[in-house]
Structure 1
Amino acid sequence: MTSTTEQETFAVGRRLAGLLKPGDVVLLTGRLGCGKTLFTSGIGDGLGVDEPVVSPSFVLVRSYRGFLPLIHADVYRLSSTGEFEDLDLLSDAAEGVLVIEWGGVVAQALPEDFLTVDFEVKDDGQRVLSIRPSGSWRSRDLGPLAA
């Protein structure tokens, strides 16, 4: 799907929030500044988070309260899946949702069930969001994301 504005990127994240359930993991991949944190802000809004969702780049992880807890991680600075496993985020997120920016780095350390959203920025500034389900996500209705 193509997003031509920041508002559209936010709205897709918000729509995804309506599909999320406890224990879900969402990986976000794409270059710096492509809209990963903005997308996560939309997820937070859809989950009822009432504070700004900001990049966890320098602290690695930020947690937010909503209808479901949102754990937002940025694993750009991690050099191995072992470092990710040491954070024990999967256990922390069992009752909520885990969104991981730069998730390609840790995909091998994840359970089979996760959703990947790849962000690509075109020369004209449009963002192409590619949704790649794995595991049980393949049988879930992702139609609302394209609305």
Structure 2
Amino acid sequence: MAEARGTEIGPELVLELADAEATRAWGRRLAAVLRAGDLVVLSGPLGAGKTTLAQGIGAGLGVRGQVASPTFIIARVHPSLTDGPALVHVDAYRLGSLEELDALDLDASLDESVTLVEWGEGLAEVLSEDRLEVVLERPHGAGAGEAPLDGAGVRHVTVRAVGPRWAGVRLPA
């Protein structure tokens, strides 16, 4: 596994997405700038739209299979149906250490796939000095503890491009 190194952090992109369909649509646009070797680290609370965004990225990459939360499987590979890279979709929620992440052997496929790690903040950054860090948040209703799990509701998205791979890359707004 790669060890964490100092990296450049580019400017942040802040978006407001109206609902689940807008989140999927932005994921499809984001997929257009992704290439083999890219790491996308998704974070945010339950129901914020991490898997919804992953579905849009999968659709944009043209991968096989339904992109669903891999919570109990931990990692799922979606091969490309086109000439593009596969999508390796990881859910790090149940991982408790770097050793457990390392046991998934993600670095073996990192160079030829787009690797997307949900709940990866504070854990997956060691996989690559070049990555997109995407934080999704949804406002809570009055008195509600978590955002609703349905598709309704605005998502606030903050994207940080980290490392030289992203220098000069225009992310979709």
Q: What is aligned with 2:50? A: 36
Write the distance in 2 (CA, Å) between the matches of 1:5 and 1:108.
Answer: 28
Q: Deviation digits for residues 90-135 of structure 1, max 9, x if unmatched?
A: 2223211000000113144222111011001113631100001111
2:18 match: 4
Q: Distance in 1 between matches of 2:168 and 2:101?
A: 27
Q: Using the alignment, how far apart are the partners of 2:92 and 2:168 within structure 1?
A: 27
Higher relative contact order (CA 8 A, sep 6+): 2
**Aligned-partner SS, 1:20:** coil
Alignment of 1:47-58 (within 5 A): 47-58=61-72
Which segments of 5 or more consecutive residues in structure 2 lack a partner in the other structure? 1-14, 142-152
Aligned to 2:167: 139
- Whether the aligned pair in 2 keeps the contact of 1:49 and 1:64 (CA below 8 Å) is yes
Give the equivalent residue in structure 2 for 1:123: 140
**Is the Cα contact below 8 Å between 2:79 and 2:87 reproduced in 1?**
yes
Which of these two proteins has the greater Rg computed from alpha carbons? 2
After the TM superposition, which parts of structure 1 deviate over 4 Å for at least 4 consecutive aligned residues?
Answer: none
Deviation at 1:87, TM superposition (A): 1.0
State the partner residue of 1:24.
Answer: 38
Find the residue that maps to 1:85 and give its secondary structure.
helix
Q: Greater helix share, 1 or 2?
A: 1
Q: Which amino acid aligns with 1:72?
A: H
SS, match of residue 130 in structure 1: strand
Shift of 1:33: 1.1
For residues 18-70 of structure 1, what are the alpha-carbon distances to aligned partners after superposition, in whole Å with 9 as ceiling and x for unaligned? 00111100000000111101100101101112421111000000110112100
Alignment root-mean-square deviation, CA: 1.4
Q: Describe the shift of the 1:85–1:65 C-alpha distance in structure 2 as closer, same or farther (beyond 3 A).
A: same
- From the superposition, tell whether residues 7 and 108 of structure 1 become closer, same or farther in structure 2 (CA, over 3 Å): closer
Task: Indicate the residue corresponding to 1:15 in structure 2.
Answer: 29
CA distance in structure 2 between the partners assigned to 1:119 and 1:77 by the alignment:
19
Matched residue, 2:119: 102
Q: Compared with structure 1, are the counterparts of its residues 61 and 107 closer, same or farther at alpha carbon in structure 2 (3 Å cutoff)?
A: closer
For 1:26, what is the secondary structure of its paired residue? strand
Structure 1's unaligned 5+ residue stretches are: none
Q: TM-score, normalized by length of structure 1?
A: 0.92
